[in-house]
Amino acid sequence: MATDIANSGTVQGQPVAIGEPRWIRITSITVTLLFLGIFLFLPLIVVFTEAFKKGAEVYFESIREPDALSAIQLTLIAAGMAVPLNLIFGIAAAWAIAKFEFPGKSFLITLIDLPFSVSPVISGLVYVLLFGLQGWLGPWLAEHDIKIIFAVPGIVLATIFVTFPFVARELIPLMQSQSSEEEEAARVLGAGGWQIFWRVTLPNIKWGLLYGVILCNARAMGEFGAVSVVSGHIRGMTNTLPLHAEILYNEYNSAAAFAVASLLTILTLVTIALKAAVDWKSQVEAREVRAIREQGLAEA
Amino acid sequence: MKRAFRPHSILPGFGLTMGFTVFYLSLIVLIPLGATFLKTFSAGWGHFWETVTGARALASYRLSIGASLVAAAINSVLGLLAAWVLVRYEFPGKRIVDALVDLPFALPTAVAGITLTAMFAGNGWVGSWLEPLGIKVAFTWLGVVIALTFIGLPFVVRTVQPVLQELDPEFEEAAATLGAGRWQSLKRVVFPELLPALSTGFALAFARAVGEYGSVIFISGNMPMKTEITPLLIVTKLSQYDYAGATALAVATLMMSFVLLFLINLLQWWSRTRYA
């Protein structure tokens, strides 16, 4: 393909009339690669070189010490709570919005998207104002000896808030674009609600669902601003991985900070790879479905 | 797919799913946000106004909004070019580059912050090239722009890319047969088609940048009046137990975000009517 364009004067099979001269193509590609190289590729290299600056021993020591392990544990707890809850919410919201007509629907969709337009810092602050000592419920909580802010529940809540729309916003447009005919047919044939969902709807939305879960999980494990406000930064108690990296960095322990950051970077790379795989898989499947339909039409 | 108004679907589960949606939405998002607004107004207008128009607050808006605008502008130009290159040209490693565009979405902001700082500090990989030229990035407002450019990068690319993919080359061919030069047909035929998506991408990148915290605080140096962004000022007030002050700034920021959200919805509506 690449040689095609360079030699024969076509762009992706299109005649040269809509292609650009060679020097413009080469300049555009070079500028793009330089920009993306500096902003996307170089940071990945920097994370790992900084992490291994003091050798592999320091690296593995930094991610095996007790504070790091407890940060890993808390990060897993927060994501382990936030992802399933937001998944259930996303499915429920998409079902209600895509399968039924009711007034105020687009307003509801806007409200669901709201956490995306709120600064992470404010996402944490709202819970401090609700559950903190100065907050609405603070005195009552203190009386009953329940700690939410500067404790694990606050971190979980802040994580749920920032990852709230991820699954819903993947599923809503996807389910809206699919007609309900298959579900209605199943209903007429006597299937119950759960049966319809598991047998008919779920197979149709599985890639979108997976996509949303992958992105939701990445954000849940990596959230910094919101969690930072509610955590109180108690070492070994209320530090997630990103907060632990920040503390190490501010203590001028750069190698350890980047070692922790490298774990999060690996998570990011896995996320991107999975996302690309899901993209590819769902495209292949869509093509197969289309081929089968066309074949069916041709035979009919 | 549009369907006629149907109050009674034969499908079950409306009560359950709608009920849970509204309940969960209220519990997690609406009640906490509402409580924040109530808290501000219970502290009184005078105090609110005093806080949000204080000199330090004004300086922080200037930096947050100014740097976000510059970053979104950089992303519009280079993001448009990147989308074009990724859709129209072939080069080795294209699929990997394409996948990497999502990196700023998925990379934790704190990791981005410390990494960009390491890169752009005077002794860093990029900073050591810029230092002899007299350009200081880390711990200046330029650093803020760099961090905001990084986190806003995917927005323009990812909104323009699908539109460009759907754009039928026939229009460009028609323009060419009618005697338009390549540049003319790009300007008159292609660019107007991309404009709604490009504007949406710009607005999304800007909205994200205004509230950004994690990737900025490491590289900015955080000097009051100079390199202090608004979200950081909120955190500073909180750590000084000035809850009323933090809340007032938060409400001001929230109101701006809501205006932006409304604008983005308008832009997306424009895109939809344009491409429908």
Q: pLDDT over 90 for what percent of chain B?
A: 67
Task: Please tell me the distance from the alpha carbon of residue A57 to that of residue A46, in angstroms, as a whole number.
Answer: 18
Task: Please tell me the distance from the alpha carbon of residue A24 to that of residue A259, in angstroms, as a whole number.
Answer: 42
Give the pLDDT band (50/70/90) at residue A297: confident
- A11 by DSSP, 3-state: which? strand
Cβ of B103 within 8 Å of Cβ of A268? The answer is yes
Burial B154-175 (b: 16+ CB within 10 A, else e): bbbbbbbbebbeebebeebbeb
Residue B167 in tokens: 């754009």
DSSP 8-state class, residue A14: B
| Chain A residues closer than 8 Å to B211 by CB | 117-122
Residue of chain B nearest A89, judged by CA positions: B21
> How close, in Å, is residue B88 to chain A by CA atoms?
7
Q: pLDDT tens across B37-63, in order?
A: 988 887 788 889 999 999 999 999 999
Task: Please tell me the distance from the alpha carbon of residue B176 to that of residue A210, in angstroms, as a whole number.
Answer: 44
pLDDT at residue number B117: 96
pLDDT at residue number A17: 54
Cβ of B126 within 8 Å of Cβ of A38? The answer is yes
pLDDT of B272 strictly over 90: no
> How close, in Å, is residue A161 to chain B by CA atoms?
6
Q: pLDDT tens across A127-174, in order?
A: 999 998 888 888 999 899 999 999 999 999 999 999 999 999 999 999
| Chain A residues closer than 8 Å to B35 by CB | 126, 129-130, 135-136
- The backbone torsions φ and ψ at residue A3, rounded to the nearest 5 degrees and listed phi first, read -70, -35
pLDDT at residue number A1: 38
Question: Would an 8 Å CB–CB cutoff place A182 in contact with chain B?
Answer: no
| Chain B residues closer than 8 Å to A4 by CB | 90
ipTM: 0.89
Task: Please tell me the distance from the alpha carbon of residue B112 to that of residue B219, in angstroms, as a whole number.
Answer: 10
Q: At what angle do helices A202-222 and A152-163 cross, to 10 degrees?
A: 130
What is the pLDDT of chain B when averaged over all its residues? 90
> How close, in Å, is residue B272 to chain A by CA atoms?
13
Give DSSP secondary structure letters for chain B.
Answer: ------S--SSS-HHHHHHHHHHHHIIIIIHHHHHHHHHHHHT-HHHHHHHHTSHHHHHHHHHHHHHHHHHHHHHHHHHHHHHHHHHH---TTHHHHHHHTTHHHHS-HHHHHHHHHHHHSTTSTTHHHHGGGT---TTSHHHHHHHHHHHHHHHHHHHHHHHHHHS-HHHHHHHHHTT--HHHHIIIIIHHHHHHHHHHHHHHHHHHHHH--HHHHHHH---TTTS--HHHHHHHHHHTT-HHHHHHHHHHHHHHHHHHHHHHHHHHHHHHHHH-
Environment class of A247 (CB within 10 Å of its CB; exposed 0-12, middle 13-18, buried 19+):
middle
* Mean pLDDT, range B260-276, rounded to an integer: 81
pLDDT of B273 strictly over 70: yes
> How close, in Å, is residue B135 to chain A by CA atoms?
17
> How close, in Å, is residue B28 to chain A by CA atoms?
6
Question: Would an 8 Å CB–CB cutoff place B247 in contact with chain A?
Answer: yes
Task: Please tell me the distance from the alpha carbon of residue A75 to that of residue A241, in angstroms, as a whole number.
Answer: 6
Q: Which residue is it, tokens 């899901």?
A: A278
Instruction: List, as ranges, residues 129-148 from B with C-beta within 8 Å of A.
Output: none
- Bridge partners of A14? A11
Q: pLDDT tens across B23-33, in order?
A: 999 999 999 99
Instruction: Kindly report which listed range (A6-20, A215-229, B123-137, B195-209) carries the lowest average pLDDT score.
Output: A6-20
pLDDT of A5 strictly over 60: no
> How close, in Å, is residue A299 to chain B by CA atoms?
27
Mutation target for A interface from B8, B21, B42: give the one with most A CBs within 10 A.
Answer: B21
Cβ of A193 within 8 Å of Cβ of B11? The answer is yes
Q: Which residue is it, tokens 């330029």?
A: B142
Task: Please tell me the distance from the alpha carbon of residue A95 to that of residue B9, in angstroms, as a whole number.
Answer: 12
Output A39-43 pairs: Cβ under 8 A, ≥24 positions apart: A39/B104, A39/B149, A39/B150, A39/B153, A40/B100, A40/B101, A40/B103, A40/B104, A40/B153, A41/B100, A42/B119, A42/B125, A42/B126, A43/B103, A43/B107, A43/B112, A43/B115, A43/B116, A43/B119, A43/B150
Question: Would an 8 Å CB–CB cutoff place B39 in contact with chain A?
Answer: yes
Give the pLDDT band (50/70/90) at residue B183: confident
pLDDT at residue number B276: 57
pLDDT of B142 strictly over 90: yes
- A127 by DSSP, 3-state: which? helix
pLDDT of A14 strictly over 60: no
pLDDT at residue number B275: 64
Of A111, A119, A224, the CB nearest to B211: A119
Element (H, E) at A182: helix A181-188
Cβ of B110 within 8 Å of Cβ of A224? The answer is yes
pLDDT at residue number B7: 46
Inter-chain Cβ pairs, chain A and chain B, closer than 8 A: 302
DSSP 8-state class, residue A9: S
pLDDT at residue number B4: 45
Of A21, A122, A225, the CB nearest to B250: A122
Q: Which residue is it, tokens 């105090």?
A: B47
Environment class of B136 (CB within 10 Å of its CB; exposed 0-12, middle 13-18, buried 19+):
middle
pLDDT of B269 strictly over 90: no
Of A15, A20, A122, the CB nearest to B253: A122
Residue of chain A nearest B257, judged by CA positions: A117
pLDDT at residue number B71: 97
Contacts of B188 (CB under 8 A, 6+ apart): B175, B180
How far does Cα A236 stand from its chain's mean position? 26
pLDDT of A10 strictly over 80: no
Instruction: List, as ranges, residues 252-271 from A with C-beta within 8 Å of B.
Output: 254, 257-258, 261, 264-265, 268, 271
Of A25, A119, A157, the CB nearest to B213: A119
Mutation target for B interface from A85, A117, A252, A253: give the one with most B CBs within 10 A.
Answer: A117
Largest CA distance in chain A: 79
Give the pLDDT band (50/70/90) at residue A18: low
Instruction: Kindly report which listed range (A140-154, A202-216, A279-293, B88-102) carries the lowest average pLDDT score.
Output: A279-293
Contact B189, B171 (CB under 8 A): yes
Q: pLDDT tens across A85-117, in order?
A: 999 999 999 999 999 999 999 899 999 999 999
Task: Please tell me the distance from the alpha carbon of residue A203 to that of residue B129, in angstroms, as a whole number.
Answer: 53
Instruction: List, as ranges, residues 6-45 from A with C-beta within 8 Å of B.
Output: 11-12, 14-15, 17-21, 25, 28-29, 31-33, 35-36, 38-44
> How close, in Å, is residue B172 to chain A by CA atoms?
6
